[in-house]
Structure 1
Amino acid sequence: MTKYVYFFGGGQADGASGMRNLLGGKGANLAEMTSIGLPVPAGFTITTEVCTAFYANDRQYPAGLIQEVSEHMARVEQLMGKKFGDRTNPLLVSVRSGSRASMPGMMDTVLNLGLNDETIRGIIDQSKDPRFAYDSYRRFIQMYANVVMGLKGDILEDIFEELKEDRGVDLDTELTADDLKQLVGLFKNKVKETLGTSFPENPQDQLWGAIGAVFGSWMNPRAITYRRLNNIPATWGTAVSVQSMVFGNMGNDCATGVAFTRNPSTGENLFFGEFLVNAQGEDVVAGIRTPQPINMAGGDGSLPSMEEVMPESYAQLMTIQQTLEKHYHDMQDIEFTIEKGRLFMLQTRTGKRTATAAIRVAVDMVREGLISQKEAILRVSPEQLDQLLHPSLDPKAEKQVIAKGLPASPGAASGEVVFYADEAESAAREGRKVILVRIETSPEDIHGMHAAQGILTTRGGMTSHAAVVARGMGKCCVSGCGDIRVNYEKELFVATGGVTVKKGDMLTLDGSTGQVMLGKVPTVQPELTGDFGTLMGWVDSVRRLKVRTNADTPHDAKVARNFGAEGIGLCRTEHMFFDAERIMAVREMILAEDLEGRTNALAKILPMQKSDFLGLFREMKDLPVTIRLLDPPLHEFLPQTEAEIVDLAKVMKVPPQTLHAKVDSLHETNPMLGHRGCRLGISYPEIYDMQVQAIIEAACELVKNEGFSIIPEIMIPLVSHVNELAVLRKNAIRVADEVIARYAVKVEYLIGTMIELPRAALTADEIATEAEFFSFGTNDLTQTCFGLSRDDAGKFLPSYVDQEILPEDPFVAIDQNGVGQLIQIGCEKGRKTRPAIKLGICGEHGGEPSSVIFCHKVGLDYVSCSPFRVPIARLAAAHAVLLED
């Protein structure tokens, strides 16, 4: 027969800390604390298997559960010397949730369960304090009515406040026992009046109502959201722990508190926490009363600490917290209650912490001999590092949130609102900080994006243009913010709540949460401490996967190298074309009527491109640099306004109407699947010839004049057939060898391709005959595999994730069952033809932890990601090795 209930109490426990999958974190740790001799009130835990059965069987419990609960309640009664539901010596219990993964505050709890008009007499006799008894009773009714019966929380709270106002008091503690007794009656009447059913008097009915409510809260909206945000499967379920009540609100020799064995913000090895005298647990977290510091080191002296007020209990708690940390080998988050001077432990769990704290705790614990270096690496999640690499908002500052979008690029930024890229650039020249607000960005906005402190768009997803470029720049970005409506003509936007924000108004963005705030909110600059360097040294000694960066400018390359990048995996040459000094020549080249006209325009661009590559090669000295030849469709570079066409017509000495006709002729219905990538190189080989010449000339000059050792990697994009690559490879070799012969130096180079179309992956064995490396472009590979536009899918993909149609956004994390199989096929077929072929990934997935781990598993040589995600990828690559072991 399946065992569904596990007992703990009196130094003995059926469970242990290793059983968190079955008992949840709370139940497993209560059992463990009991077994190691800590003072834990007796109780029992109903397993997560019951939760699974509860939902699988139309909220019905498995056979035998009621009997098991009854038997274990009897064991608790015997140990505590009290009886559940007894009039003279009643046992009261708490009913709490406990998932295997910590979900603080997401699910429901009921305290003081077992009180009714009969048992209250026993509580009064036991405590000799009618006020305490009726305060516990009103708390129970208020909590139970809300959690179990579904009564809105403010209904009873309003009655409570009205009574306090009627009595002329401000604090709960100023109400008398008679006041609280009256409040109990008022509460019960309101429950009956509102819900049409009486408040349950039978303790057994109360117990099973609470158990059902806690299981039910596993599927409440906030729990569902929390699980989605933290990748916690719904199938895990929650356990329910039923535990004897101990009371921190029976007088001034009682207290309750929450503490961490180390500072969760800084990681400092200092006991850190808060407590309240004469209070129950919810009082500490509710903020109704100002909590007091645990010790003198944690306060400012304005309130007495527990160390001063209750020195004996504090000393005992210090011993216990040290015991727990040494036992679990990790920082603990603990809850405790002191009843009549006697300390009880109600919970311990791994403490949540900032990235700064996580790194310091991990490194310190290695030094203290508590954990190994490998354990320290696994203690820090790659996602946490975002907090370290970008400015963050001051958590103490006031914020007026007016909208929320997608957290596209982490960090925080404040500035004046502008709506055009040119304005952003002009403002930056004047020393003003701005936020660029756009419906959506295009490559032509690149200068304004670079100049802005942050970017806000109403359209686009996590891998939209704005998101990708912002992450590469380390810029804060909130994309897909459907809560606002932009009016370019009036230069303002209106938020859903009716707030109007005009050009010049101050705005703050939080790219880590997607929040948009009115006004300027102070930020806190990250500090990459010595502990960070120590941890990353351990990380690099473990990982096998190399980490490169996606960088288009020397500045980005320098930032990435400082973050530990081992080369450039993707340089998008088209981003270099949008500079104000170059765009005219680029447009002239595109709109030229013949080869001679294009060649003349390209001759103007050549020295600019070479200068770009010189800068990149210098920043990445002795490291590989992969340069992608022109990829976007030509229409993206064309003039859009009448004024721009007129200006270009003057430069080209042609009538404006001629340019109008040419612009119209380049229009495509679906340009992202049209005339772009290698198809441009086939149609206009002189474009790719110019770029190859610029790359190899830059390499030759550095080798000849500065003694560099360089092997440029020339990447031809959007290949779908080996014959495309064969033609363009032949052209590239011709140009490269001519340049090398002219400089009379020895320079090696590689020619490869980006695998970003399903056909390319499926025919990778053929393509590998012409390619010396593959770089998987997972942004486009995901688009073409799913048949989704990444810029438009943001409108509906979130609902797909919410409804669990998809486990996660495939533009954020690699779809391993679909896109992942194409990558794996491409790797296997490529290596079959060319065993030494170099394999990497350069899509935005290259910096997403689960995707990095996948890339390790399929045997890629490297991942490439935005500069500010390089440390994240390094850590994820180390995790991949350790998790494999």
Structure 2
Amino acid sequence: MKRWVYLFSEGSKEQRDLLGGKGANLAEMTKLGLPVPTGFTVTTEACLHYLNNGNVLTDDMKDQVMASVMQLEEKTGKSFGDFKNPLLVSVRSGSKFSMPGMMDTVLNLGLNDETVESLVRNSENERFAYDCYRRLLQMFGDVVMGIDNSKFESRITQLKQSEGLNFDNELTANHWKRIVSEYKQLYRENLDRDFPQDPVEQLYLAIEAVFGSWNNNRAKTYRRLHDISDDLGTAVNIQEMVFGNFGETSGTGVVFSRNPSNGEPGLFGEYLINAQGEDVVAGVRTPKSIQVLAEDMPEQFEQLDTICKNLEKHYKDMQDVEFTIERGKLFILQTRSGKRTSKAQLAIILDLFKEGIIDEETLVQRIEAKDLEAALHPSFDVKALKNRVHFLSGLAASPGAAVGAAYFTAEAATEAKDRGERVILVREETSPEDIEGIAVAEAVVTSRGGMTSHAAVVARGMGICSVVGCEALTVVDGENRGTVGEETIEEGTILSVDGTAGKIYFGEIPMEEVANTVALDDLHEIWDRHATIKVRANAETPNDIETAMALGAVGIGLARTEHMFFEKTRLLQFRRLILADTLQERQEVLKELKEVQKQDFKFMYQAGAGKSENVRLLDPPLHEFLPKTTEECREVAKALGKTLNEVKRKSDNLSETNPMLGFRGLRLGVAYPEIYQMQGEAIIEAAYEVMAEQGFEIKPEIMIPFTIDATEFATVRHSIEEAVQKVMAEKQLPLDYQIGTMIEIPRACFVADEIAKHADFFSFGTNDLTQMVLGLSRDDSPRIVTQYLDAGIFQDDPFQVIDEAGVGAMIKIAIENGRKTNPNLKIGICGEAAAHPKSIEFLSTLPIDYISCSPFRIPQAKMKLAQVRVEETIK
């Protein structure tokens, strides 16, 4: 015969699937000898059988329930339905995973018109007995019989108003008798039947109600939001009632073994004297802080504190404990791992590790990406956010939260910042000209672009909150406003931007109060002991590099030199270069740019303090740097001493139909070798000067982008090396440098063995490689990707998670081919997709040396790399 019921004394914490989390923990605490009211659990399997077979309790189930009731009677010395010494029980739900408040509970079950009088005699407290009876009538009516709870509450409210009372605990025994009578009348009015007087019928109906609550709307919504399977079912826990409403020496409460908001050790919670459990959470009375219990009942407080500490050690986690004190005796009704904020989670697991409660491997495994992300970035107040509805959504390009006034140009944003305003920059898409506006903004919102668009990349690198690809947003060019359906965003409109969720709200949402800072140094030391693949940063400005080093980078994997020209005066210099008509004109510009670039590289080396730094030579998609409008062309012409027609003619000649596949990377080095030579000289001279000034040992890494052919690469490398060797000859000092390439074109993967003969390292550019392998423009992909995700064709956005079957296969081929001819070939992976947890699981199977990502994703990447290795060790 199938077993559907287990006594608490028969179960254990390992049986969460069968007994649910609550039942398993009650069984475990019973085994530990803690003061747990005795009881039994009807299993999750019984629930699923009930739900899948016509919502009927089988005879076997009923027989096993009643057999367990008899054992309960034997242990307690009470009898179910007895007129002299009645056994009363609670009936509570309990699924495998905690779902607080989502399913149903019934207390004081077993009371009826006769047993309530027995309770009066035995307790010598008529008020207490009838308070218990009205609670049963109310909860049973709501949970089991489906009567709207407000109908019950309204009767109590009317009575208090008529008697001039404010609180439930001011009502007398006669008041509760009157309420009981009115509640029974509610049953007749709403159900055309009386409240069931048979305790056994009450029990069966309550079990069925709890089983049925597995499929109520709030439970289904909770499971969907927390990714909990619908196929688990809930157990039902039937437990002897203990009473916190037995007078002034009784009470009930909920306590956490540590503060769930900030992680600080010590009891944190609330309790009520002379109350039952639901009173604490119902808000009908104001609870006291658990610390006051130390004064009201010092013996019980000490006992509770000791139990919580022991439960933490036993479960190896912070605990959320429900307790009741009945006439001075403490009972533990439930324990579970406590819900906590992300900041608290990091503090708690580090403290548990330092206290020896968990080991290092457990610490590594318990940290989640969302907790790290939330701890490193500002976020909105959770309670305030629940009451708000977003009006616009897009791709969550850069995490965090921000509030500010909307401005639609970099100039307007900068002026507003100078006036002391907080700014949200709203654009159709950003370009290098917007860099000053981005730098002063709290957040960046665009209507176009994907996760690798200019706005997304720059915002992530600077740690600025950003939402991109908001397709419902139309930015009206030149009118300084945007529209979303019938809504209009005027200049100065206050917006709240959630870059973690990709949502935007009208008005100001309060920010979460900043709690403790994350102990990243401690975590980095632990992660580095386990991970074999290193993490570098995509960064080129001193500020970004310093941020990256503070967040745990071992070096720079990608310094994009074209990003060094985003500032307005730099942009003008770069435009002079690309608009030059003659070699002489270019060389004049390059002479100035060399000094500018050398200072850039010196700042980089100083910020990196001797750590590896990989500098990618110019890879400028021309559409990002050419003047677009007539007004821009006029400004450039004036600054360069050219005519408007000359600038427009040159810009038109350089304009490309598809700039992402145009005159990029080393194609620039082939056509204009003097440009890459200038950069090579600047990189090496900067290294010599910083070594002399700071004493750092610097090993420059020079990366040539967009390679498709071995001869092509060798030609450009030779040109650069001529310039490098010239500087070294002048200095007469040896310098260990490397020249390698970024692999971002499919052909390069297939001829990697030939390219590797001339290259010291490969760095895979996942953004460009993805768009070429899949034939998807990285800037125009969001709509297509969304459709493919909705249709189930894609499981993940390939610009956020490496496409293993296509892009991943290319990377494997290139590594294998490259290492055949150059066994010492250093391998790195760049691009934001490399830092995604799913990508890291794949990349961890490859013989690579490092991945490189934006600074604020470094901790998450290091965490996941360590977790992968720990899991491999455990297996």
Task: Give the deviation of 1:553 after TM superposition.
Answer: 0.4
Counterpart Cα distance in 2 of 1:182 and 1:410? 57
2:859 is the alignment partner of 1:871? yes
Aligned to 2:104: 109
State which drifts further: 689-698 or 254-263. 689-698
Kept in 2: contact 1:254–1:338 (CA 8 A): yes
Aligned letter for 1:133?
Answer: C
Aligned to 1:263: 259
Correspondence for 1:28 among 24, 27, 30: 24
From the superposition, tell whether residues 502 and 174 of structure 1 become closer, same or farther in structure 2 (CA, over 3 Å).
farther
Kept in 1: contact 2:140–2:206 (CA 8 A): no
Aligned to 1:302: none
2:327 is the alignment partner of 1:332? no
Task: Give the deviation of 1:211 after TM superposition.
Answer: 0.9
Tell me the secondary structure at the aligned position of residue 263 of structure 2. Answer: coil
From the superposition, tell whether residues 184 and 774 of structure 1 become closer, same or farther in structure 2 (CA, over 3 Å).
farther
Correspondence for 2:536 among 528, 544, 548: 548
Counterpart Cα distance in 1 of 2:119 and 2:657? 80
2:277 is the alignment partner of 1:290? no
Kept in 2: contact 1:383–1:849 (CA 8 A): no
Counterpart Cα distance in 2 of 1:63 and 1:680? 82
State which drifts further: 19-28 or 84-93. 84-93
Q: Deviations over 1:586-644 (max 9, x none)?
A: 22333445555555544443332222112112222321111223334211112122211
2:598 is the alignment partner of 1:610? yes
Aligned letter for 1:836?
Answer: N
State which drifts further: 790-799 or 345-354. 790-799
2:220 is the alignment partner of 1:220? yes
Tell me the secondary structure at the aligned position of residue 270 of structure 1. Answer: strand
2:741 is the alignment partner of 1:750? no
Tell me the secondary structure at the aligned position of residue 775 of structure 1. Answer: strand
Counterpart Cα distance in 2 of 1:239 and 1:727? 71
Aligned to 1:422: 411
Aligned letter for 2:439?
Answer: H
From the superposition, tell whether residues 209 and 799 of structure 1 become closer, same or farther in structure 2 (CA, over 3 Å).
farther
Larger Rg: 2
Task: Give the deviation of 1:226 after TM superposition.
Answer: 2.0
Task: Give the deviation of 1:565 after TM superposition.
Answer: 1.9
State which drifts further: 345-354 or 184-193. 184-193
Task: Give the deviation of 1:867 after TM superposition.
Answer: 2.1
Aligned letter for 1:313?
Answer: Q
Q: Deviations over 1:341-364 (max 9, x none)?
A: 433222222234445544544444
Aligned letter for 2:461?
Answer: G
Kept in 2: contact 1:215–1:238 (CA 8 A): no
How high is the sequence identity, in percent, across the aligned residues?
43
State which drifts further: 797-806 or 672-681. 797-806
Kept in 1: contact 2:106–2:140 (CA 8 A): no
Counterpart Cα distance in 2 of 1:426 and 1:672? 33
From the superposition, tell whether residues 378 and 251 of structure 1 become closer, same or farther in structure 2 (CA, over 3 Å).
same
Aligned letter for 1:325?
Answer: E
Counterpart Cα distance in 2 of 1:23 and 1:141? 23
Computed over aligned residues only, the root mean square deviation of the Cα atoms, in angstroms, reads 4.3
Correspondence for 1:839 among 814, 827, 839: 827
Aligned to 2:545: 557
Aligned letter for 1:883?
Answer: E
Correspondence for 1:569 among 550, 557, 576: 557
Kept in 1: contact 2:402–2:443 (CA 8 A): yes
Aligned letter for 1:96?
Answer: S
Aligned length: 858
Q: Deviations over 1:231-273 (max 9, x none)?
A: x666766655454444434544432221111223333332221
Aligned to 1:449: 438
The equivalences for 1:324-723 within 5 A come to 324-354=311-341, 356-392=343-379, 401=388, 403=390, 405=393, 407-429=396-418, 432-460=421-449, 464-479=453-468, 491-492=480-481, 502-504=490-492, 506-512=494-500, 514=503, 516=505, 518-519=507-508, 521=510, 524-525=513-514, 528=517, 532-593=520-581, 597-682=585-670, 685-703=673-691, 708-722=696-710
Aligned letter for 1:467?
Answer: A
Tell me the secondary structure at the aligned position of residue 581 of structure 1. Answer: helix
Aligned to 1:137: 136
Correspondence for 1:315 among 291, 295, 302: 302
- TM-score by length of structure 2 reads 0.84
The equivalences for 1:96-175 within 5 A come to 96-100=93-97, 102-105=98-101, 107-112=102-107, 128=126, 129=128, 131-141=130-140, 143-144=142-143, 170-173=166-169
Kept in 1: contact 2:445–2:466 (CA 8 A): yes
Task: Give the deviation of 1:805 after TM superposition.
Answer: 7.0
Correspondence for 1:39 among 24, 35, 39: 35
Counterpart Cα distance in 2 of 1:332 and 1:684? 66
- TM-score by length of structure 1 reads 0.83
Aligned letter for 1:181?
Answer: V
Correspondence for 1:248 among 244, 249, 261: 244
Task: Give the deviation of 1:130 after TM superposition.
Answer: 5.2
Correspondence for 1:279 among 260, 275, 286: 275
Kept in 2: contact 1:113–1:140 (CA 8 A): no
Kept in 2: contact 1:402–1:495 (CA 8 A): no
Counterpart Cα distance in 2 of 1:804 and 1:199? 51
Counterpart Cα distance in 2 of 1:550 and 1:109? 51
Kept in 2: contact 1:111–1:143 (CA 8 A): no
From the superposition, tell whether residues 216 and 400 of structure 1 become closer, same or farther in structure 2 (CA, over 3 Å).
closer
Task: Give the deviation of 1:442 after TM superposition.
Answer: 3.2
Task: Give the deviation of 1:472 after TM superposition.
Answer: 1.5
Q: Can you give the 5+ residue segments of structure 2 that lack an aligned partner in the other structure? A: none
State which drifts further: 669-678 or 311-320. 669-678
Task: Give the deviation of 1:496 after TM superposition.
Answer: 8.0
Counterpart Cα distance in 1 of 2:789 and 2:80? 44
Q: Deviations over 1:507-535 (max 9, x none)?
A: 55454555646248466456547x55344
Kept in 1: contact 2:380–2:509 (CA 8 A): no
Kept in 1: contact 2:167–2:284 (CA 8 A): no
The equivalences for 1:226-237 within 5 A come to 226-227=226-227
Kept in 2: contact 1:844–1:865 (CA 8 A): yes
Aligned letter for 1:572?
Answer: R
From the superposition, tell whether residues 357 and 730 of structure 1 become closer, same or farther in structure 2 (CA, over 3 Å).
same
From the superposition, tell whether residues 57 and 866 of structure 1 become closer, same or farther in structure 2 (CA, over 3 Å).
farther
Q: Deviations over 1:309-365 (max 9, x none)?
A: 333432331231122123223322212223444332222222344455445444444
The equivalences for 1:734-773 within 5 A come to 734-758=722-746, 760-761=748-749, 764-773=752-761
State which drifts further: 214-223 or 285-294. 214-223
Aligned letter for 1:454?
Answer: A
Aligned letter for 2:210?
Answer: A
Tell me the secondary structure at the aligned position of residue 260 of structure 2. Answer: coil
Aligned letter for 1:255?
Answer: G
Aligned letter for 1:224?
Answer: R
Q: Deviations over 1:355-397 (max 9, x none)?
A: 5544544444444443444444444445423344334557798
Counterpart Cα distance in 2 of 1:55 and 1:824? 49
2:179 is the alignment partner of 1:180? yes
From the superposition, tell whether residues 111 and 810 of structure 1 become closer, same or farther in structure 2 (CA, over 3 Å).
farther
